[in-house]
């Protein structure tokens, strides 16, 4: 077990591990689990994709009328986890969630493929679907309304940034004596602690 952390800053440590995962993970190194909860504590979890990370937090985008969004708007606390099986590593992050700025959401939405932009308009995410044909009909309607070219961002579609309070780095070790390093926010900096496996 190292006596000092691999990095004094969790964002630097995440960047190093994430860069390695992008080189070695065969599928979706940006895939993460996101856990949310209702105000009374009923949890839900799903897998989605990280779309940005900087020192202010970890960014993802979604339909604002989805279950995850309604839970986040009512209870802006969340946890996310990355598991890079090929590296035998995981990262757990906990903190508060804030909305991204409209300009940031606009810029990301403009970078998406046309079909994904149309899908954001067509999907009534998390609501009951009577038949696949209903979704396909909505896709066709919005594709006709917004042909190839500039598609505006739907008012019900934007992003969130998880501002971390805790970031834990886990590394597989022999005999299940895994290495766990916890960063906890302390003012403008971070404290570190090694945890028993």
Domain ranges of the chain: 10-195
**Fold for the domain defined by 10-195:** Pnp Oxidase; Chain A (2.30.110)
* Sign of the dihedral defined by the CA atoms of residues 85, 90, 94, 99, in that order: negative
The predicted-structure confidence for 28-38, as pLDDT tens digits, reads as follows 999 999 999 99
From the list 163, 197, 169, 162, the residue with the least C-alpha distance to 183 is 169
What confidence score (pLDDT) does residue 3 get?
46
* Global confidence as pTM: 0.93
From the list 152, 159, 170, 182, the residue with the least C-alpha distance to 59 is 159
Distance separating alpha carbons of residues 145 and 154, to the nearest angstrom: 13
pLDDT tier for residue 6 given thresholds of 50, 70 and 90: low
Distance separating alpha carbons of residues 17 and 22, to the nearest angstrom: 9
pLDDT tier for residue 7 given thresholds of 50, 70 and 90: confident
The predicted-structure confidence for 125-136, as pLDDT tens digits, reads as follows 989 999 999 999
Question: Cα-flanking dihedrals φ and ψ of residue 111, to 5°?
Answer: -85, -10
- Report the length, in residues, of the chain: 197
């Amino acid at each position: 077990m190292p006596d000092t952390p691999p990095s004094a800053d969790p964002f630097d440590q995440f960047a190093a591990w994430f860069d390695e995962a992008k080189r070695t993970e065969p599928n979706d190194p940006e895939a993460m689990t996101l856990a949310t909860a209702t105000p009374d504590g009923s949890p839900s979890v799903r897998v989605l994709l990280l779309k940005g990370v900087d020192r202010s937090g970890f960014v993802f985008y979604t339909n604002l009328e989805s279950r995850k969004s309604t839970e986040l708007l009512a209870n802006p606390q969340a946890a996310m986890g990355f598991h890079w099986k090929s590296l035998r590593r995981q990262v757990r992050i906990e903190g508060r969630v804030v909305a991204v700025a409209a300009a940031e959401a606009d810029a990301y939405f403009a970078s998406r493929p046309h079909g994904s932009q149309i899908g954001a308009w067509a999907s009534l995410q998390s609501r009951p679907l009577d038949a696949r044909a209903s979704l396909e009909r909505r896709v066709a309607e919005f594709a006709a309304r917004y042909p190839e070219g500039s598609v505006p961002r739907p008012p019900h579609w934007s992003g969130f940034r998880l501002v971390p309070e805790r970031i834990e780095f886990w590394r597989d070790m022999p005999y299940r004596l895994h290495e766990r390093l916890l960063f906890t926010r302390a003012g403008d900096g971070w404290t570190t602690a090694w945890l028993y496996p």
